[in-house]
Amino acid sequence: MKKLLLSLLIAIVVIGIVEIGPALAGQKKLKDVECLAPAGAGGGWDFTCRVPAAQLMPKVGGVEGAIKVVNMSGSGGGKAFAHVVTKRNNDEKLIVAASAATATRLAQKVYGDYTANDVRWFGALGMDYGTIVVGKNSPYKTLDDLLASLKENPRKTPIVGGSSAGGWDHVKMLLVAKAAGIADLKKINYIAFDNGGKALLEVISGRAAAFTGDTSEVLGQLAAGEVRALAVLSNNRIPVLGDTKTAKELGYDVVGGNWRAFYVPAGISDETYNSWVEAVKAVAYSKEWTELREKNGLAEFTSFGKEFDSFVTQQIKNVAEISKELNIIK
């Protein structure tokens, strides 16, 4: 059963000046577009809106004019989700950044009675693997050091992340802790922040022992020398992380990735939905995105339209099962 759940986990993981490009062949004209990032600046959802959407959709995805990025933080993405469902259900000019973290919250009913069917999922264009980092002056030199402290004194080894308690960042750390033989996962002191950028500041200041988040969230602070990476939760090493070893190399058989994607309001027309599918496809297969994706530490992962919608539904089922295994939900 445990191997099955880890396999399911692997399945889960698995603004500037822009040029104005013409609509793609057969695509409905898309203009005056807004991309809603369900968290503050500096996190993964913000990145998804600002780079593949705002930077590239006008250039290669057939969107006319600049895309406005709006940050709406609150309830781990729940405020934005409710806003879309209740106030903008027919808005054909709105797209929303999403990820495996969104599916996790839906699986755990963090968004209340809202479900995946309350919106339409139209495309994914990258996989952002989990990374565990510590401050540059941290006493923890290795992942083994950190896990030993978690096992011996979990309350005095605070772990921070940009998702709510029980959310995707939390789940990734719990899986590593479980692989290390830590029995009582409820004792792990996880502190939630509204986005990865804020959580990282806690590690840099020394107020937290470690950060659990996504590779794209840590690259800036890694480059600045403010943090050190202890492990990446991928099958293979990530080039932009240099010599950082995978958790599997270090003896912990855990892989945890966060797909980067978008959804739109459920009430839009099929014509507009299909146009958004074509827009994200064009970005996903572009040379420009390939270069930016690799530069930001994202692995290749694509899924579009009805296929992606079905993928999200299955991921929610998988996450619910894993969450029960980890005693996050009943």
pLDDT tens per residue, range 136-165? 999 999 999 999 999 999 999 999 999 888
Side chain identity, residue 27: Q
Task: Say which residues have a Cβ less than 8 Å from residue 158's Cβ, sequence separation at least 6.
Answer: 189, 190, 191, 202, 207, 208, 209
This prediction's pTM: 0.83
Q: Quick one: pLDDT at residue 132?
A: 98
Helix (H) or strand (E) holding 328: none
The Cα-based distances of 203 to 97, 207, 214 in angstroms read 26, 6, 15
Distance CA 123, CA 277 (A): 6
- What the chain holds in terms of domains, given with CATH numbers, is 2-128+259-325 (3.40.190.150), 129-241 (3.40.190.10)
pLDDT in tens, 263-315: 999 999 999 999 999 999 999 999 999 999 999 999 999 999 999 999 999 99
Question: Any bridge partners for residue 231, and if so which?
Answer: 132
Give residue 14's pLDDT. 43
For the residues 173-193, what does the mean pLDDT come to? 94
Report pLDDT digits (tens) over 211-254: 999 999 999 999 999 999 999 999 999 999 999 999 999 999 99
CA neighbor of 104 nearest in space, from 175, 177, 31: 175
Question: What one-character-per-residue DSSP string does 204-259 give?
Answer: HHTSSSEEEEEHHHHHHHHHTTSEEEEEE-SSS--GGGTTPPBTTTTT-----EEE
Task: State in Å, rounded, how far the first CA of the chain is from the last one.
Answer: 17
Residue 329, pLDDT above cutoff 50: yes
Q: What percent of the chain has pLDDT over 90?
A: 83
- Report how far residue 206's alpha carbon sits from residue 201's, in angstroms, rounded to the nearest whole number: 9
pLDDT higher than 60, residue 108: yes
Token reading at 267: 């009430």
| Cβ pair 210, 135 in contact under 8 A | no
